[in-house]
Structure 1
């Protein structure tokens, strides 16, 4: 059976803006070969089988390019952001923050450690990458993958040196802190998006939410059902009760309550946020405006120490058919409808599709080297390959839409 190889010609042309950032001719030759190896046939997308399948390049050359060559990946990262913005950027686009786990054996691969892997639903020996995905509608383009270093690594300078972790990365950073760095990089590139989405692993971090708001961003993120909140009409008063020490701060005139309790008393409505392959996707949702308890800590009368009221936000509850409930928080405007809130919090699923395709189709987890540089370059190559595939899919969809529109117009003209 004849195999359509036209994608290889398209790839070389599509990669031209990326190759400008690689000054050496050998690197400009290796980059397309590596990406073609990720896209092409074969179950294993590590360097050795890719080199064997290519036939025109040796293992040493391909391995040197991704793991040891002296070249800066920043120009390729910027080119990826530019292409992602062209494909799906806009005011209606989402920037989705998440993380994904790459299961690994042994202890020498950079960042590997026993840690909870949400994609596996358990603690496993793995590498954990913070991911950033730009998405519009049902089209995701992944634009960032950065390795999270557990404490077992950041407390061991010798281990980090053996894995060739750059000096400026040999610091303990939480996943939300890494995510903010990545968001700043996306903003600096000029990529257009309307709302930042993240699960409760990020959304439960008040510093993460504050950092988003400080940047003037709109966000909708997961939260714990135990997150405490105040009614929007909470008043700040100066207490007059006798105490051993004079009061210095105003406090709320009522204690906070957990979000789960607040939403339990709201009206729950069945909402359809989009159509799936088997029809409309629906769940029951409820939402209300509150002031989030994420201000400074002070003692409230005899109720102990609590967080003071912060900004006014939406809290959103989702009740699934299985009985499972999820909770979210968002700074979307007060006039936002429940259907729009539901569509925003449910749009995050698209990054899971991207994770799956990068792993199953493009070999994201197949890199067998141990270094920081090699892992991040391999990850970058998989994201570039994925962006190329998305561009082709959009082209095909555009041609189909155009041909259908032309056929409809012809039919209408003949009536």
Structure 2
């Protein structure tokens, strides 16, 4: 790769960082294209797809560089998990210099697509667009503290129609052993893997798309982890101090009763109705962090409840949890609600700050899409989609490590790496000839 002749400290660290990925890439001859690819992701440029990056990092031999990068991403058989493990080992210590890991954040993000052949593309909800549309969606797990966060797991969600279509699977290179899984099931598997890999534990944070899934919440608890997860306003809860009716005594005839019960006068309520019935004194204004111009604050209530979803099929009531409710002054109804298994002695401010730490994943996605080119991959296959994302995370990890070493009062120097100017004679494939 043709870089400036005099490497500054950050560029030397970049070279060492990519060299460390070498063992995980499987072959020494993959290190140079990986370095070019990561450099292309970090360098300025509107598009971070393969050809424009090849032109930026190797302007004198664009076609050869394009073939090399394309092979690395779309064809080469290297382990995404192994590369992410190296990234994690290099970057987490830098994050932990600013405090222990506090949270494991689950979320998903969408990539709008116009065609129908890219792996996993379907009409589904796309957060980037805020509506249902043609897109791909990936589920991720990030580890975070208040200083920074790093994605440590990444997987494409494969809609059921795709999972059951053998021809499309084969064409896109979907692994033979991969079966349909819901997003919460993918997320729970990522959490299990992170725990098995010895990643420093944190409180699991997720939005209502995951929090409404009882099996997801139960799975987190079974792993010995706590959570703060969003729920919908329609979620069924037993109000403070209430629980299902106990199992009825056996009459001596038929099968003995084994399930807790409800009645017309004794039943759970919707979360929004619970909030509406709380006394004025239940609400307090809480600040959770400093915003750009002013402290971020809102009005919250926190009460102990029991989740009631299908508990009429259970032999015992569910354990008490926190229900945290945000209801800003002037709003007609609550804007956000969470369930949390944090200890009963956790104060309201701590609950709020844990819940609001989920903003870090939004920051990750924003930077990785706008600055690193996470959504710019133009290939259609399973392998290429994941290899591109893995090297985007690697590039982002380097950026995080560099920032962690900079004092808060200092400005971050950019760019970390330099490349020669693209020749004026270069024309992308398919571009019209100049007039």
Aligned counterpart for 1:104 among listed residues 102, 106, 113: 113
Query: Could you list the per-position Cα deviations for residues 138-196 of structure 1 after superposition, in whole angstroms to 9, with x for gaps in the alignment?
Result: 41212222100112211211111110001122x11000000011112211221113211
Give the deviation of 1:245 after TM superposition: 6.6
State the partner residue of 2:83: 76
Long gaps (5+) in structure 2: 412-435
Alignment partners' CA distance in 1, 2:169 and 2:368 = 27
State the partner residue of 1:261: 273
Show structure 1 runs of 4+ deviating over 6 A: 2-5
State the partner residue of 1:135: 144
- Tell me, yes or no, if the aligned pair for 2:37 and 2:69 is still in contact at 8 Å: yes
Alignment partners' CA distance in 2, 1:394 and 1:82 = 15
Question: 1:187 and 2:190 equivalent?
Answer: no
Alignment partners' CA distance in 2, 1:4 and 1:43 = 26
Give the deviation of 1:400 after TM superposition: 4.6
Aligned pairs (5 A) from 1:228-307 = 228-230=236-238, 231-234=240-243, 236-239=245-248, 248-252=257-261, 254-266=266-278, 267-294=282-309, 296-298=311-313
Alignment partners' CA distance in 2, 1:310 and 1:141 = 33
Relative to structure 1, is the Cα distance of residues 69 and 241 closer, same or farther in structure 2, using a 3 angstrom cutoff? Answer: closer
Question: TM-score scaled to structure 2, two decimals?
Answer: 0.84
Give the deviation of 1:4 after TM superposition: 9.7
Give the deviation of 1:252 after TM superposition: 4.2
Query: Could you list the per-position Cα deviations for residues 261-284 of structure 1 after superposition, in whole angstroms to 9, with x for gaps in the alignment?
Result: 222233111100111111110010
Relative to structure 1, is the Cα distance of residues 130 and 297 closer, same or farther in structure 2, using a 3 angstrom cutoff? Answer: same
Alignment length (residue pairs): 392
Please give the secondary structure, in 1, of the residue aligned with 2:317.
strand
Aligned counterpart for 1:206 among listed residues 200, 214, 221: 214
Please give the secondary structure, in 2, of the residue aligned with 1:249.
coil
Aligned pairs (5 A) from 1:35-54 = 35-54=38-57
Relative to structure 1, is the Cα distance of residues 321 and 158 closer, same or farther in structure 2, using a 3 angstrom cutoff? Answer: farther
More contact order relative to length (CA 8 Å, sep ≥ 6): 2
- Tell me, yes or no, if the aligned pair for 1:100 and 1:129 is still in contact at 8 Å: yes
- Tell me, yes or no, if the aligned pair for 1:219 and 1:330 is still in contact at 8 Å: yes
Give the deviation of 1:259 after TM superposition: 1.9
State the partner residue of 1:393: 403
- Tell me, yes or no, if the aligned pair for 2:24 and 2:83 is still in contact at 8 Å: yes
Alignment partners' CA distance in 2, 1:100 and 1:336 = 31
Alignment partners' CA distance in 1, 2:330 and 2:160 = 37
More helix by proportion, 1 or 2?
1
Question: TM-score scaled to structure 1, two decimals?
Answer: 0.88
Question: 1:12 and 2:15 equivalent?
Answer: yes
Tell me how large the CA RMSD over aligned residues is: 2.6
Alignment partners' CA distance in 2, 1:79 and 1:109 = 28
Aligned counterpart for 1:384 among listed residues 381, 394, 399: 394
Give the deviation of 1:322 after TM superposition: 6.6
Please give the secondary structure, in 2, of the residue aligned with 1:79.
helix
Aligned counterpart for 1:344 among listed residues 346, 354, 365: 354
Question: 1:220 and 2:235 equivalent?
Answer: no
Relative to structure 1, is the Cα distance of residues 377 and 321 closer, same or farther in structure 2, using a 3 angstrom cutoff? Answer: farther
Alignment partners' CA distance in 2, 1:59 and 1:353 = 30
State the partner residue of 2:431: none
Long gaps (5+) in structure 1: 299-305, 402-415
Relative to structure 1, is the Cα distance of residues 82 and 232 closer, same or farther in structure 2, using a 3 angstrom cutoff? Answer: farther
Give the deviation of 1:13 after TM superposition: 1.4
Give the deviation of 1:91 after TM superposition: 4.7
- Tell me, yes or no, if the aligned pair for 1:219 and 1:331 is still in contact at 8 Å: yes
Alignment partners' CA distance in 2, 1:105 and 1:250 = 50
Query: Could you list the per-position Cα deviations for residues 77-126 of structure 1 after superposition, in whole angstroms to 9, with x for gaps in the alignment?
Result: 21122234313356542111000001111000000111011232101110
Give the deviation of 1:380 after TM superposition: 0.3
- Tell me, yes or no, if the aligned pair for 2:95 and 2:404 is still in contact at 8 Å: no
